[in-house]
Amino acid sequence: MRVLMFGWEFPPHISGGLGTACYGLTRGLAHNGVEVALVVPKAYGDEDQTSARIVNASDFAFDPRQIRYSAFSKEISYIEVNSQMVPYIGIDDYYNIVNQIESGVFEDVEGGGKRKYRFQGGYGANLMQEVEKYALVAEEIARSEQYDVIHAHDWLTYRAGIAAKRVSGKPLVVHIHATEYDRSGENNRNDIVYNLEREGMMAADAVCAVSNLTRNIVIEKYGIPADKVFTLHNAVEPSVRQVDGNRPVKEKIVTFLGRVTFQKGPEYFVETAKRVLEMDDNVRFVLAGDGDMMPRVIRRVAELGISDRFHFTGFLRGKDIDKMFGMSDVYVMPSISEPFGISPLEAMQSGVPVVISKQSGVSEVLQYAIKVDFWDIDATADAIYGILHYPALAKVFSEKGCEEANNLKWEDVAGRLKHIYQLVAPEA
């Protein structure tokens, strides 16, 4: 079986759990005899291609004269004029477009007016433009590849998946790693993103959700038929993580590692730190990550008067994450709405006891983790205090947690995913 997979990032160039999950899934699928061509907007050349062939969308040229912008455009033919005139925009937007063309965002290709779009990748200010261009390039990629199933990860790639399905007639599986309700909450929903998510799910032949929590959101908030929505919990790469015994401080260390955004609950981590320090001031708290709430979190730390016990590392990756876990005595994930959450599994592999919110998908598959409501600061503080002050408790969660995390294998997840592929593509 062959799969054409559309992703947005891939290790070592990642900004969060999406790229990590794609890496694990492709390795697991290879173990299950599934051949994957993974498309990303921008490939860097240093990606691990032992389990999946990486396809760089920036290498593909498309002809804007043949793009089907909507259903009725099939009936329209037009002639492209080599001009920088653009209708219905103001003077500032006009010069922005001209500057983009002149700076090489678009690259003309010899023969027939085709162009390549040089994707920047990541999650920059031109994200929505890149999402649209990704869908256009996807048509060309879909014509050039051989595959049985299309698999698209998160809203960023759904239109690319839909374009590939339209060109090929092959079944489409979409994967939900997070919804707009997780990222923004009930009252701050971005309708553009929500509509892209729903468009992809409605067009799909099967929808994979990373937890029962996410599956329920997909069914209830997006109106997707329950019989085509499957729960597919994440896993973690098996690992014996090197624990560095060199600690920069003598105090116990409690760590938060993740994006500093509404969804991840960093404010609750700060409030919990204050409660713990009221019981024991021989503790240090580390917030490892970056995001839009960072200034607000820093201000709150100062207001609470705990700056001398609080550390900000910025975004960590690779060996720096392992080093951070190696110094940690407790890992805390107080997410308000966490579709899954791979970082607690990585902490457990390092032998770090974890405290996680009940509002997380990973809580559905773990026994050796302390689970609390994200808003219950007192319960979270008590859990941290207990682990720090009762060595027998810490030892149980450290040893059993490590064993439990390493038993959550990507090849098992991929085996279940292969079964979903076979349901939508029985001839493959």
Per-residue 3-state assignment (H helix, E strand, C coil) for 66-91: HCCCCHHHHHCCCCCCCCCCCCCCCH
Does 326 lie in the same domain as 270?
yes
Does 126 lie in the same domain as 32?
yes
Does 176 lie in the same domain as 33?
yes
Whether the per-residue pLDDT at 221 is higher than 90: the answer is yes
Lowest mean pLDDT among 60-64, 353-357, 376-380: 60-64
Does 399 lie in the same domain as 417?
no
Residue 240 in domain = no
Read off the pLDDT of each residue in 375-404 and give the average, rounded to a whole number: 97
Number of helices (H) and strands (E) in the chain: give both, helices first. Answer: 14, 16
Residue 42 in domain = yes
Residue 188 in domain = yes
Q: Name which residue leads in pLDDT, 95 or 395.
A: 395
pTM of the model: 0.84
Q: How many domains in the chain?
A: 2
Q: Name which residue leads in pLDDT, 221 or 128.
A: 221
Does 209 lie in the same domain as 263?
no
The pLDDT value recorded for residue 122 is 76
Does 349 lie in the same domain as 270?
yes
DSSP for 306-327, please give it: -GGGEEE-----THHHHHHHHH
Percent of the chain having pLDDT more than 90? 71
Whether the per-residue pLDDT at 88 is higher than 50: the answer is no
The CATH number of the domain holding residue 290 is 3.40.50.2000
Does 278 lie in the same domain as 142?
no
Residue 388 in domain = yes
The model's pLDDT over 274-323, given as tens digits with 9 standing for 90+, comes to 999 999 999 999 999 999 999 999 999 999 999 999 999 998 888 899 89
Q: Name which residue leads in pLDDT, 77 or 9.
A: 9
Residue 83 in domain = no
Find the domain containing 22 and state its range.
2-75+117-235+412-424
Read off the pLDDT of each residue in 44-54 and give the average, rounded to a whole number: 93
pLDDT bin (cut points 50, 70, 90) of residue 129 is confident
pLDDT bin (cut points 50, 70, 90) of residue 110 is low
Whether the per-residue pLDDT at 428 is higher than 80: the answer is no
The pLDDT value recorded for residue 79 is 42
Does 310 lie in the same domain as 384?
yes
The model's pLDDT over 294-306, given as tens digits with 9 standing for 90+, comes to 999 999 999 999 9
Residue 229 in domain = yes
Does 205 lie in the same domain as 283?
no
Read off the pLDDT of each residue in 164-174 and give the average, rounded to a whole number: 96
Whether the per-residue pLDDT at 24 is higher than 60: the answer is yes
Asked if residue 315 lies in contact with residue 290, where contact means CB atoms within 8 angstroms, the answer is yes
Distance CA 183, CA 220 (A): 17
pLDDT bin (cut points 50, 70, 90) of residue 66 is low
The pLDDT value recorded for residue 416 is 97
Whether the per-residue pLDDT at 238 is higher than 90: the answer is no
Residue 311 in domain = yes
Read off the pLDDT of each residue in 55-69 and give the average, rounded to a whole number: 73
pLDDT bin (cut points 50, 70, 90) of residue 80 is very low
Residue 84 in domain = no
Percent of the chain having pLDDT more than 70? 86
Whether the per-residue pLDDT at 422 is higher than 70: the answer is yes
Does 278 lie in the same domain as 262?
yes
3-state secondary structure of 196: helix
Phi and psi at 314, nearest 5°, equal 80, -175
Does 310 lie in the same domain as 226?
no
Does 181 lie in the same domain as 66?
yes
Average pLDDT over the chain, rounded to an integer: 88
CB-based contacts of 407-410 (< 8 A; 24+ apart in sequence): 408/233, 408/234, 408/235, 408/236, 408/345, 408/365, 409/28, 409/235, 409/238, 410/24, 410/25, 410/27, 410/28, 410/31, 410/235, 410/236, 410/237
Q: In what order do the strands lie in the sheet with 370-372?
A: 310-312, 283-288, 252-257, 330-333, 354-357, 370-372
Whether the per-residue pLDDT at 273 is higher than 50: the answer is yes
